[in-house]
Amino acid sequence: MGGAERFFIRLIRGLAAMGHKTEAAVRAGYEVCEHIPENVAKYELPMRSVWDPLSKFELMLLVKKQRPQIVQTYMGRATRLTHLKPGKVPVHVARLGGYYKLKNFAHAHAWIGNTRGICDYMLQAGFSANRVFHISNFIELPKPVSNERLQRLRQGLSIPDDAWILLTAGRFVEVKGHFELLKAFSLTPQTIADRPLYLVMLGSGPLEQKLKRHAEQLGIEKRILWTGWQIDPEPYFQLADLIVFTSRQRETLGNVILEAWSSKRPVLATKFQGAVEICEHGIDAWLAECEKPKSIAYGIEQVLKDQGLRLQMARTGHKKILNEFSKEKILKEYIEIYTLLLQNI
């Protein structure tokens, strides 16, 4: 249930709430199955592999039976298994949230990229300009977490009351830049304004053990909390003094930035492709250099020393969520594009 999966749930829940008949076809046994809203029909299909003809047949049989107007595929496997005739209903819309091999998406009838960079990537590859659309992700505003619950969470993590809490969230994979973050944390003063620093690592993934060993080698393991994956990360966000998201250059949108803004928390991010599209340095986020621990450490220290800057970035980021990344705005854009595509068949 990473950022991509959570947005999938938000999208289908939002469309259904608007009164549009929305159905979800998901891979059987996939954790996302457990989070499909009750008012959305759910079809669990094997989707064994992208080459499996039976999986392709089962998916096409479902489309034929349900007769939707729009079939939107999310992620590569569903896209590669879906092959619909052009110029007819249903229209096949492929949504891309990364710089994938475009030959696996070229057969779709239209494409949505969640960053302008991804859209430019498709246009440069020769995709039709009037069939490529940019729609960002949206974030639903979280419910406030009580001070009592936040205090219990802090105590459960054994973090002193006077400590700064840095938080990062995401899968432990190379593109997220966790090794650079740990190095940066080791270069940051252990106390800033007489307050000790702790780093909360929210997530899990294939690099977890290597990251823990790296923290031990850097001598910072006692100031790092490994929480594992959290289905409800909001209390952790609201507990944090600063959200740090230090992905490498190839990272796309970065939902963590949007989630931090929605929680009214200040953000430090690296200048990866998605961040520079949506962030303004020193206005709504502090932007450090990708894969440069010294730049990240400098940014952490500067932001924690400046309360006014933290408050300003949090307020401006939250305002940007309301104006540019709201559920209402993004869902309206989806419906407008679906309508346009159906009108132009």
pLDDT digits (tens, 9 = 90+) for 85-124: 999 999 999 999 999 999 999 999 999 999 999 999 999 9
- The answer to whether 3-138+326-343 and 147-324 have equal CATH topology is yes
Q: What is the pLDDT of residue 297?
A: 98
What's the length of the chain? 345
On whether the CB atoms of residues 82 and 71 are closer than 8 A, the answer is yes
CA 274 – CA 227 distance, rounded (Å) = 26
Q: What is the mean pLDDT of residues 191-211?
A: 97
Structure tokens at 269: 């991010």
Instruction: Name the CATH code of domain 3-138+326-343 (choices 3.40.50.300, 3.20.10.10, 3.40.50.2000, 3.10.20.740).
Output: 3.40.50.2000
CA distance 92 to 110: 7
> What pTM value is reported for the model?
0.90
Homologous superfamily of 147-324: Glycogen Phosphorylase B; (3.40.50.2000)
Q: Is 117 exposed, middle or buried (0-12, 13-18, 19+ CB in 10 A)?
A: middle
For the stretch 127-175, pLDDT in tens is 999 999 999 999 889 999 999 999 999 999 999 999 999 999 999 999 9
Q: Buried b vs exposed e over 215-231: b needs ≥16 C-beta within 10 Å?
A: beeeebeebbbbbeeee
CA 68 to chain centre: 27
- Domain limits, the chain: 3-138+326-343, 147-324
3-class state of residue 93 by DSSP:
strand
| Helix, strand and coil percent figures for the chain, each rounded to 5 | 45, 20, 35
d(CA 303, CA 301): 6
Q: pLDDT tens-digit profile of 15-43?
A: 999 999 999 999 998 888 999 999 999 99
Residue among 73, 69, 95, 90 nearest 82 (CA): 73
